[in-house]
Each structure stands twice: as C-alpha cells, then as structure tokens.
Amino acid sequence: MPTIDVEGVGEFEVAAGKRLVLALVDEANVDQLHACGGNGKCTTCQVEILDGDVGEMNSREQETLTERELSGVRLSCQVLCNSDLRVRVLKRLEGSGRADAGARPANDIS
C-alpha cells in the first residue's frame, strides 16, 4: 500500500490505484476542493507533488492545465496513488468562500 505524506497533515496509507483526491478527502480528512466533481475541468483540486512518481498527465489534465496556464501543479482528481507520495494541497474549502468542496468524485477516472 502506498504511503501519502500530506504537508501539514501527516502520513497515511491508501489502497494502490485510488484517486489522490479521494485519498485526501477520505483517509487524510483534508478539505480539498473538487468543484467539478473530479472530472479534471475546474483546477480546484490542485496539488504540488513534492516527492514521488505520479506518472505522465493524461490528456484531460494536460489540456485543462494548459488552458489555464498553470504549471508545476497536478490535479489530484487525475492522479492515481500507485507509489509513495509527498504532496502539498493548494486549494482547500476553508477560506475559499465556497459552501462546499464539490460533488463527490467517482472512484474511477473517466
């Protein structure tokens, strides 16, 4: 089982292949934003990968980040936990002014 180390939160284990956004919400109890429901369209689930291998971006993530001229970040809804990671959550519900974090993302990347 991969270990995810969330800056300012701590470490936790997660089932291999779980979406990072769900690992952050379910296991780490982080109030990570995911306004589009984990569809890779809104960029509210931005994270910085501090250490570990999350593989190449899929086309949806690449397109969304390019359109918004964002670099150096990944979308946690498009990342699978297949190895140990150290991450920094960049957008959280607290302080966002939003009423909720967004619809719960599906278990699988569509």
Residue-wise pLDDT tens digits, 71-86:
899 999 999 999 999 9
3-89, CATH topology level: Ubiquitin-like (UB roll) (3.10.20)
The residues spanned by each domain of the chain are: 3-89
CA 59 to chain centre: 16
**Closest to 20 (Cα-Cα) out of 93, 99, 94, 90:** 90
At residue 63, φ and ψ (nearest 5 deg) are -65, -45
CB atoms within 10 A of CB 95: 8
pLDDT of 36 > 80? The answer is yes
What element of type H or E holds 85? strand 85-89
Over residues 94-103, mean pLDDT:
94
What element of type H or E holds 63? helix 59-67
Give 4-32 pLDDT, tens digit per residue: 999 999 999 999 999 999 999 999 999 99
Decide: helix, strand or coil at residue 58: coil
Q: Where are the alpha helices (DSSP H) in the chain?
A: 20-22, 59-67
